[in-house]
């Protein structure tokens, strides 16, 4: 992998339009204003405790990156398909459902990882306990499934059901590890696709299905989402090493403490084979986490992982550039740059 990434060739300056593309957040803003309120309406439940559990993360404080990508993609596709940019009701519903599925998976992930912090506040399992956290995640997922059924398109149901399957399989992959080094990287990228990118890829595909019958257009939407999603997670894995805990809202080196070898560690292992044994025992011995941390910072693992993220962003740009130009399309291109430069 290492020789593939050259810092000078991997520049993601997009050469699309002369005017500066609009900020993606600003452009998607009016479609997202009622997002969290709409989600709370879907979570209509009379039990007071279940209500507060389910609404806990829908407080408007999340980045809402996923629904933002879905909204921009929907508008870009609508314009590409010779119609007004405005969202169809089903497309708006998909943006909301993507955030619900994402949040349900966070609630369950925190139980699996035994996390006590998320987005700078205590996790649901920390406040209410694991049993109730599992039920809350299930309830959010069931509300998302009902909203999905109401869209009334069988293909869309199939595409978004795939996401839920991928989330489960990805979590299972994360629980296992691979002995062989080449297999290990493949395993890591596949797990990253299933746990993070599948949701974005298939949500983008779903909004394309509602407006265009051309499978090539569905594929453009899917490929953009997939590549941005993988890049997003690779950057996330880098931030675990480079960002202060205060910025991330969760402790740094969290992945190592969970026994997970992400991109920076796998690249570092090529320079420091001593990491191999630590990876295999999931950094469980005393001092493993600190030593692995040191090795990663001495290696060019972080840099290599960033190059890899750039490679995925370039591919996302190449795909989305096949759509007819629009402010939303350009915002999606701009978004790939923001994914690479974010620090939290």
Q: Residue 298 falls within a domain, yes or no?
A: yes
Q: Is 131 part of any domain?
A: yes
Burial class (CB in 10 A: 0-12, 13-18, 19+), 339: buried
Closest CA to 168 of 102, 260, 105: 105
Burial per residue of 62-92, b for 16 or more beta-carbon CB atoms within 10 angstroms, e otherwise = bebbbbbbbbbbbbbbbbbeeeeeebeebbb
At 2 the pLDDT is: 41
Q: Determine phi and psi for 22, rounding to 5 degrees.
A: -65, 150
Q: How far is CA 293 from CA 187, 275, 327, 340, in A?
A: 21, 10, 42, 22
202: left (phi over 0), alpha (psi -120 to 50) or beta: alpha
Sign of CA dihedral 229, 232, 238, 241: negative
Any domain includes 87: yes
The answer to the question of residue 13 being in a domain is no
Residue 29's pLDDT band (cuts 50, 70, 90): confident
State which of 3-7, 25-29, 69-73 shows the largest mean pLDDT.
Answer: 69-73
Query: What integer best gives the mean pLDDT of the chain?
Result: 90
Q: 47-96, pLDDT tens digit by residue?
A: 888 888 888 989 888 889 999 999 999 999 999 998 888 999 999 999 99
Q: Does a structural domain hold residue 10?
A: no
C-alpha to C-alpha distance for 43 and 24, rounded to whole angstroms? 28
User: 175 CB contacts (<8 Å, ≥6 apart)?
Assistant: none
DSSP-assigned states of every residue in 224-256? HHHHHHHHHHHHHHHHHHHS-HHHHTS-TTHHH
Q: How far apart are CA 264 and CA 197, in angstroms?
A: 19
Whether the predicted pLDDT of 7 surpasses 70? no
Predicted local distance difference test score (pLDDT) of residue 81: 93
- Tokens at 267, concatenated: 């690249």
Average of per-residue pLDDT across 237-261: 81
Residue 212 has pLDDT above 90, yes or no: yes
Q: Are 269 and 177 in contact (CB under 8 A)?
A: no
For the cut 60, the answer to whether the pLDDT of residue 5 exceeds it is: no
Res 227 pLDDT > 80: yes
Total residues found in the chain within this entry:
344
Residue 9, domain member (yes or no): no
On whether residue 229 sits in a domain, the answer given is yes
C-alpha to C-alpha distance for 154 and 272, rounded to whole angstroms: 50
Q: Which two tokens stand for residue 212?
A: 């265009």
Q: What is the predicted pLDDT for the residue at 247?
A: 66
Confidence of residue 106 (pLDDT cuts 50, 70, 90): very high
Residue 19: pLDDT band with limits 50, 70, 90: low
Here the CATH number for the domain that contains residue 61 is 1.10.600.10
* Domain extent for 251: 24-341
For residue 276, what pLDDT is reported? 94
Quickly state the pLDDT bin for 150 (edges 50, 70, 90).
very high
**What pLDDT shows up at residue 4?**
47
pLDDT on residue 185: 93
Of 128-132, 148-152, 174-178, 330-334, minimum mean pLDDT range:
174-178
Q: pLDDT tens digit string along 173-211?
A: 998 877 788 899 999 999 999 999 999 999 999 999 999
Q: How many distinct structural domains can be found in the chain?
A: 1
Which residues, 6 or more positions from 188, have their beta carbon under 8 angstroms from its beta carbon? 261, 262, 263, 266
Residue 3 lies in a domain: no
Residue 218: predicted pLDDT = 98
CB atoms within 10 A of CB 169: 15
Per-residue pLDDT averaged across 109-124, rounded? Answer: 91
């Amino acid at each position: 992998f290492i020789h593939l990434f050259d810092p000078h060739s991997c520049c993601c300056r997009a050469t699309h339009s002369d005017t500066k593309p609009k900020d993606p957040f600003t452009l998607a803003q009016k479609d997202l204003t009622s997002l969290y309120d709409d989600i709370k309406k879907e979570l209509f439940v009379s039990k007071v405790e279940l209500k507060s559990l389910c609404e806990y993360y829908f407080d408007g404080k999340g980045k809402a990156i996923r629904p933002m990508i879905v909204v921009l993609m929907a508008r870009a596709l609508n314009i590409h398909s010779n119609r007004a940019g405005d969202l169809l009701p089903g497309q708006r519903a998909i943006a909301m459902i993507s955030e619900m599925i994402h949040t349900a998976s966070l609630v369950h992930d925190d139980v699996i990882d035994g996390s006590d912090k998320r987005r700078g506040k205590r996790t649901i399992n920390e406040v209410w306990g694991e049993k109730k956290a599992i039920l809350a995640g299930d309830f959010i997922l069931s509300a998302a499934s009902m909203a999905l059924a109401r869209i009334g398109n069988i293909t869309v149901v199939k595409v978004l059901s795939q996401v839920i399957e991928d989330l489960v399989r990805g979590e299972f992959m994360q629980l296992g590890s691979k002995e062989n080094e080449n297999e290990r990287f493949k395993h890591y990228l596949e797990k990253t696709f299933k746990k993070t990118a599948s949701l974005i890829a298939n949500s983008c595909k779903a909004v394309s299905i509602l407006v265009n019958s051309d499978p090539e257009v569905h594929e453009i939407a899917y490929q953009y989402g997939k590549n941005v999603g993988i890049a997003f997670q690779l950057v996330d894995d880098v931030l675990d090493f480079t960002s202060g805990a205060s910025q991330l809202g969760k402790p740094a080196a969290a992945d190592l403490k969970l026994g997970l070898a992400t991109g920076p560690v796998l690249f570092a292992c090529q320079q420091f084979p001593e990491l191999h044994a630590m990876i295999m025992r999931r950094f469980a011995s005393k001092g493993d986490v600190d030593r692995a941390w040191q090795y990663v910072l001495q290696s060019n693992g972080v840099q290599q992982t960033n190059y890899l993220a750039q490679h995925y962003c370039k591919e996302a740009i190449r795909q989305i550039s096949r759509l007819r130009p629009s402010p939303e399309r350009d915002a999606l291109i701009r978004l790939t740059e923001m994914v690479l430069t974010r620090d939290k």
